[in-house]
Amino acid sequence: MIHLTRNGHVATIALARPEAKNALPTAAWQALAAAARDVGDARAVILRSDVPGIFSAGADVREFERLQADPALRTRFREAMREGIEAIAALPMPVIAAIDGGCFGAAVALILAADIRIAGAQAEFAITPARLGLGYPREDVARLEAQLGRGMAALLLFTGDKLRPDEVHKIGLVELKTRKAIDTATAMASAIAGNAPEAIRLLKRTLGGERTDQGFEDAFGGAEFAEGLAAFRARRSPAW
């Protein structure tokens, strides 16, 4: 269901459940968290689908029938989904979500845990819990509101309308729209991996709101800055 691969300094976490349009049951959310824990010292991570035409249908609706009658399973499902999404959000290196195909329901919450979102030409997006008589976890609503603002977040949550790449790019749900998201994400991840890895991690922590004044100052005395400055002076590529 979840495949983790590594190509040099770039790790890829791929959704791979073609028989269910990458709908994610409880076990898949747990596997997603395990994959995030196993990326090791990668300098960039790509989150993508291995199934043509779909990113993910979201949480597995077929599993929801069991949740109707079993409150304990509801808690397990909610906690597993939280574990998977937060594991992606907590990765210390940049995460790029490449969306080539449909991205619905909880899958939108998943891509919001990434740092950068890229929509391909065939991408579609909808947040659909209201159409099933369900809510959306508070952490995911908070990320959606932080990304889009309260009014636009409300519009997507209350209507469940399907949006195409031009629309989601205009409102800021994705940072880039391109013909093929995976190709663009691969090139971007390679470029990120070519920069100083500890500096990138420091920048990500700063973007996340952490006070990094000491880290900013310490970097001037660090090995990465020494190498970067030496490479700049010698007009060569730095060796990170």
Q: Residues with Cβ < 8 Å from 202, sequence gap 6 or more? A: 212, 215, 216, 219
pLDDT at 65: 87
Interhelix angle for 26-37 vs 71-89, to 10°? 30
pLDDT at 59: 96
Q: How much is the average pLDDT of 174-194?
A: 98
Asked if 82 contacts 136 with a C-beta cutoff of 8 angstroms, the reply is no
pLDDT tens digits for 214-237? Answer: 999 999 999 999 999 999 999 999
pLDDT at 181: 98
As beta bridge partners, residue 15 has 2, 49
CA angle, 190 as apex, 186 and 194 as ends, to 5°?
170
Please give the mean pLDDT across all residues of the chain. 97
Q: How many other CB atoms are found less than 10 A from the CB of residue 117?
A: 28
pLDDT tens digits for 23-76? Answer: 999 999 999 999 999 999 999 999 999 999 999 999 999 999 899 989 999 999
Q: How much is the average pLDDT of 203-219?
A: 97
Q: Does the pLDDT of residue 16 top 90, yes or no?
A: yes
Burial class (CB in 10 A: 0-12, 13-18, 19+), 152: middle
Asked if 191 contacts 166 with a C-beta cutoff of 8 angstroms, the reply is no
Q: How much is the average pLDDT of 15-23?
A: 97
Q: Where are the alpha helices (DSSP H) in the chain?
A: 26-37, 61-69, 71-89, 106-112, 129-132, 138-148, 150-159, 165-171, 181-193, 197-207, 213-219, 223-234
Asked if 111 contacts 163 with a C-beta cutoff of 8 angstroms, the reply is no
Tokens of 124: 């579609």
Give the Cα separation of 110 and 22 in Å (integer).
13
> Percentage of the chain surpassing pLDDT 70?
100
Give the Cα separation of 227 and 94 in Å (integer).
22
pLDDT tens digits for 126-157? Answer: 999 999 999 999 999 999 999 999 999 999 99
Burial class (CB in 10 A: 0-12, 13-18, 19+), 8: exposed
